[in-house]
Amino acid sequence: MPFITAADPDLDFTALALKELAARGCHLCELGIPYSDPIADGPVIQASYTRALAQKVRLADILATVGAVTPQLGMPIVTMVSYSIVYRHGIEQYVRDAKQAGVSGAIVPDLLLEEADTLADVCRREDFSLIQLVTPTTPRDRAVRIAERSSGFLYYVSVTGITGERTRLPDNLVQNVAWLRERTELPICIGFGISRPEHVRLLAPVADGLIVGSALVRRMEYAASRPRAEVLREMGELADELLSALRETPDVQPPKSGK
């Protein structure tokens, strides 16, 4: 499940990247909506947001690009978006405009559980997934309540801290996700720090999805200065490498379905 930043370096490249990743066999893509104060994003993704915002990109432009490309993809798109953007646009309007563009759901990392009822109710009514995050420091009773208020899938943050490529993931990650799996029917997808085939082999047996962001976004940094075909090929080759590791992993949990 790749993550890319919308409009980095521009929306034409965003459309090309979505098509490339879909053609390589990715199952879902997170599209980051650029924001000046990103939550939990490391330097690679923060820099990509800065580059995108320098283009004066607007939400309407992003959704128009997504709407033009989603019929060609064969994979769902969900937005990673700050609640302030959703709120400023209008909660119901955001959901409806996103759906109109072919978006399937939203990850809202700065939306507290205690303040999620309004958006969750709109998403449920509109059949639009609200994907919320559980972190290693989330108390277990709160993690269960977050799962109960989420739809589509549950985003499990693998590490304490910010996004970014890592050589090693926490020793207790598999056990923590296994515990949560027993308490929700939602698919559980793991993100933060995943960038290598060995990460895929470690986590695939316990996860329904693996989210890869910084490793792809780092390659996008050069799309403004190198031939775009080369950058797209490198992004696709990374996707191929990780998908191959996924296919080679024995005893992978069958994906759950959930909305």
Q: Which phi-psi region, left, alpha or beta, contains residue 141 (left: φ > 0; alpha: ψ -120 to 50)?
A: alpha
Is 185 noted as a catalytic residue in this protein?
Answer: no
Q: Work out the burial of residue 6: count CB atoms within 10 Å of its CB; fewer than 13 is exposed, 13-18 middle, 19 or more buried.
A: buried
Residues in the chain: 259
User: Per the residue annotation, which of 30, 110, 148, 198 is the catalytic one?
Assistant: 30
User: Per the residue annotation, which of 8, 20, 41, 208 is the catalytic one?
Assistant: 41
* Interacting residues of 138 by C-beta distance below 8 A, sequence separation 6+: 146
Report d(CA 180, CA 140) in Å as an integer.
8
Is 251 noted as a catalytic residue in this protein?
Answer: no
CB 20 within 8 A of CB 232: yes
Three-state SS for 88-145 is: HHCHHHHHHHHHHCCCCEEECCCCCHHHCHHHHHHHHHHCCEEECEECCCCCHHHHHH
Give the active site residues: 30, 41
